[in-house]
């Protein structure tokens, strides 16, 4: 009997880390791939890839995308749901279509909604990977959150750095929240939050002034040297980070039982403890509840 086609649904496949992860995942024969991307995005140059419009800055666009996916898969379940898109802005003045701070809306609220809407379509034994960041952790990043304040983050009185860090904590707690659902265990779904670590040469550095961007990339060896003192300064390549993301998505790499956080530490995949807040079930439940409220979903 022929093997069933393997299905992939992905955001953030059009640039940086995601381009490399997507190329590796979609290249395997028998993979059916759907990506959600903005009309302005660079389309992957691969046969058979379906691109559906998705602007994560609008919750109604997320709902339309989620509603379109099952039909495009002809009822096949999703084997790999990779929620990798992300943005870092220069300040917190921009708002989403729904009036929320843009980084928090795009990175966290949109992906929380998308994960919940598509979860029923994820296959038995399927995998969900959300790309987070070690900037969620106050031990590593000064602007990281120390308490849950979803409504406050959505209005963002703080800095661009704190808005980004809060959104990445949102990704991590969403992955933890999915892992804690009874249906996830029943259907043997693996939920992972992946931190690629500092990765040079991606579109994320568009937020930084041009000269700083160029200097950062040219100084990669210096960052690697400095990482002996501070491991978070190790600068990965998009190729390596994308490769590891793909391996976590297709099951080549798997976290130990009970672990959700997968992190590149000095370029090596590890499964360290995330921040204290990210280990707190009460924080996870609060984020889940308040995100449901803001995205118009029931809490459970
Ligand atoms: N680079 C790092 O140092 C680093 C460190 C830790 C975590 N991360 C995380 O890694 C992930 C990938 O980032 P990257 O560094 O590879 O950056 P990137 O090159 O800028 O890629 C970001 C991806 O997100 C998509 N995206 C952004 N805004 C969107 C929107 N409103 N609607 C739909 N798609 C949108 C982009 O689409 P377009 O092609 O349309 O722009 C692109 O495909 C992000 O979640 C980021 O937070 C990165």
Average pLDDT per 10 consecutive residues for the chain, totaling 300 residues: 81 96 92 94 80 97 97 94 96 96 98 98 98 97 95 90 97 98 97 96 78 73 82 89 98 97 96 98 98 93
Please identify, by atom number, the ligand 1 atom nearest to the C-alpha of residue 206: 20
- Pairing mode of beta strands 31-37, 6-11: parallel
Angle at the Cα of 261 (from 256 to 265), degrees rounded to 5?
95
Residue ranges lining ligand 1, Cβ < 6 Å:
11-12, 14-18, 37-38, 40-42, 54-57, 84-87, 106, 131, 133, 196, 198-199, 202-204
> What pLDDT, on the 0 to 100 scale, is given for residue 2?
53
CB atoms near residue 159 (< 10 Å): 12
Q: Cα separations (Å) of 294 from 16, 73, 108, 151?
A: 29, 29, 11, 8
For residue 87, the CA-to-ligand 1 centroid distance in Å is: 5
Q: Residue 60 region, left (φ>0) first, then alpha (ψ -120 to 50), else beta?
A: alpha
What's the CA dihedral at 161, 165, 166, 170 to 10 degrees?
A: 150
261 is annotated as an active-site residue: no
Q: Read off the pTM.
A: 0.96
In 3D, which of 132, 140, 141 has the Cα closest to residue 160? 141
Is the distance from CB of 17 to CB of 241 less than 8 angstroms? Answer: yes
> d(Cα 283, Cα 276) in Å, to the nearest integer?
10
Helix (H) or strand (E) holding 238: helix 238-250
For residue 1, the CA-to-ligand 1 centroid distance in Å is: 39
> What pLDDT, on the 0 to 100 scale, is given for residue 47?
72
> What pLDDT, on the 0 to 100 scale, is given for residue 193?
98
* 9, 11, 16, 34: residue to mutate for ligand 1 pocket, most atoms within 8 A of CB: 16
Angle at the Cα of 126 (from 242 to 65), degrees rounded to 5?
75
For residue 186, the CA-to-ligand 1 centroid distance in Å is: 32
> What pLDDT, on the 0 to 100 scale, is given for residue 3?
65
> What pLDDT, on the 0 to 100 scale, is given for residue 219?
79
């Amino acid at each position: 009997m022929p093997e069933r086609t393997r299905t992939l649904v992905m955001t953030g496949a059009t640039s940086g880390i995601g381009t490399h992860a997507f190329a590796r995942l979609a290249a395997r024969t028998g993979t059916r791939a759907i990506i959600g991307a903005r009309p302005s995005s660079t389309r992957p140059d691969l046969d058979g890839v379906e691109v559906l419009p998705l602007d994560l800055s609008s919750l109604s666009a997320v709902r339309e995308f989620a509603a379109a996916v099952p039909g495009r898969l002809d009822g096949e379940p999703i084997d790999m749901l990779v929620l990798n898109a992300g943005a870092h802005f220069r300040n917190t003045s921009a708002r989403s279509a729904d009036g929320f701070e843009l980084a928090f809306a795009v990175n966290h609220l949109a992906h929380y909604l998308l994960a919940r809407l598509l979860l029923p379509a994820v296959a038995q034994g399927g995998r969900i990977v959300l790309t987070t960041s070690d900037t969620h952790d106050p031990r590593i990043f000064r602007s990281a959150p120390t308490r849950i304040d979803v409504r406050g983050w959505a209005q963002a009185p703080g800095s661009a750095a704190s808005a980004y860090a809060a959104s990445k904590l949102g990704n991590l707690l969403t992955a933890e929240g999915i892992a804690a659902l009874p249906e996830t265990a029943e259907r043997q779904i693996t939920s992972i939050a992946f931190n690629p670590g500092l990765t040079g040469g991606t579109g994320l550095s568009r937020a930084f002034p041009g000269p700083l961007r160029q200097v950062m990339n040219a100084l990669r060896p210096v960052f690697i040297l400095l990482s002996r003192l501070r491991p978070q300064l190790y600068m990965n390549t998009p190729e390596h980070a994308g490769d590891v993301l793909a391996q976590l998505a297709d099951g080549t790499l798997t976290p130990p039982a009970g672990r959700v956080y997968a992190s590149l530490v000095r370029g090596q995949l590890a499964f360290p403890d995330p921040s204290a807040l990210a280990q707190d079930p009460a924080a996870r439940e609060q984020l889940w509840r308040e995100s449901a409220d803001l995205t118009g979903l029931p809490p459970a």
